């Protein structure tokens, strides 16, 4: 037991590991919460679009000397507005508008990185640099993450009704457009929160996989929120420790742990898992 405690405590003797663990836990927990609504509403592609579209905002923010989070948030909202505007055209479907907007903005970011004098490291932006987290970064993530989680939980009933039955939500007097806009703003904030830990590419995984895992293992939405967020936090803690001891990419390790949890749920979930579905199919065949 003492050996286990020593192994777990050793990395935390360093300040950068303490910052990394705190940032990873907050970012993963918020991603896990938001992931439930994105999965239920079929908005997984929207999460990918926002995550990729913030790249030019990051580069321009550094060029102008403003916080990276501000530039990322502005371009995340810009992506949402552009997608909504283009998809309002009758001949253009939403998935097409998403593809056009996020690839264009992502390409703009790559061009800016290649042409604008900047200290921005492309690999850190794309894949995260959680071990390089400073105290300032930590406080920024804490404030953004806790604010996002608080809004999600306070508006949980309305957002859940929107996810399950948009028509009924409108019938009972809820502003479906306003709730959708709120969710998209929170998506942009969550992406900014998770950028330092996971980077642009891997944050997409943490906005989708935890919710999918919760959907497989739970039969009520409240429990789905707990499983999704709790599983994401477990993946964050495990990923940080494994990456430290095995000298691996921290963001990639966190996502692989979360993917392993999804794989276990896909196979062994008691009601929706593959084994449970096969057992029901056999019983149905035997009864027939």
pLDDT at 122: 62
Mean pLDDT by 10 residues, the chain (288 residues): 51 65 88 92 83 85 80 87 81 83 88 71 68 76 89 91 86 86 86 77 87 92 93 92 85 92 93 88 80
What is residue 142's predicted lDDT score, i.e. its pLDDT?
Answer: 87
Q: Coil, strand or helix: which one is 152?
A: helix
| Lookup result for tokens 């993450």 | 145
Cα–Cα dist 278/152, whole Å: 36
- pLDDT of 119 reads 57
CATH 1.10.10.200 corresponds to the domain 2-287: no
What is the structure's pLDDT at 3? 43
| CA neighbor of 195 nearest in space, from 44, 90, 74, 58 | 58
Tokens at residue 280, please? 């029901």
Predicted pLDDT of residue 240: 87
Backbone angles phi, psi at 92, to 5 degrees: -110, 120
Domain chopping of the chain, boundaries: 2-287
- Given a contact cutoff of 8 angstroms between Cβ atoms, the answer to whether 81 and 184 are in contact is no
128: left (phi over 0), alpha (psi -120 to 50) or beta: left
**CA 247 – CA 222 distance, rounded (Å):** 37
């Amino acid at each position: 037991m003492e050996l286990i405690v020593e192994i777990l405590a050793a990395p935390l003797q360093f300040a950068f590991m303490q910052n990394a663990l705190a940032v990873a836990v907050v970012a993963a927990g918020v991603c896990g919460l938001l992931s439930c609504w994105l999965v239920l509403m079929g908005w997984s592609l929207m999460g990918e679009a926002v995550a990729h579209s913030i790249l030019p905002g990051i580069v321009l923010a550094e060029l102008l000397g403003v916080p990276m989070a501000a530039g990322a948030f502005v371009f995340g909202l810009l992506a949402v507005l552009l997608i909504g505007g283009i998809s309002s055209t009758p001949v253009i479907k939403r998935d097409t508008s998403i593809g056009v907007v996020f690839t264009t903005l992502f390409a703009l970011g790559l061009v800016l990185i290649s042409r604008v004098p900047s200290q921005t490291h492309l690999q850190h932006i794309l894949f995260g640099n959680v071990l390089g987290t400073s105290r300032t970064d930590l406080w920024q993530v804490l404030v953004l993450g806790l604010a996002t989680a608080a809004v999600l939980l306070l508006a949980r009933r309305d957002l859940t009704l929107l996810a399950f039955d948009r028509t009924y939500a409108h019938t009972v007097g809820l502003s479906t457009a306003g709730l959708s806009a709120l969710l998209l703003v929170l998506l942009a904030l969550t992406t900014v929160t998770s950028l330092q830990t996971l980077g642009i590419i891997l944050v997409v995984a943490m906005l989708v996989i935890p919710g999918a895992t919760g959907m497989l293992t739970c039969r009520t939405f409240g429990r789905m929120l707990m499983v999704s967020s709790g599983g994401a936090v477990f993946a964050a803690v495990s990923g940080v420790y494994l990456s430290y001891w095995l000298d691996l990419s921290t963001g990639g390790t966190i996502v692989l742990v979360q993917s392993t949890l999804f794989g276990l749920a896909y196979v062994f979930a008691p009601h929706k898992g593959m084994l449970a579905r096969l057992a029901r199919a056999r019983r149905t065949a035997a009864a027939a």
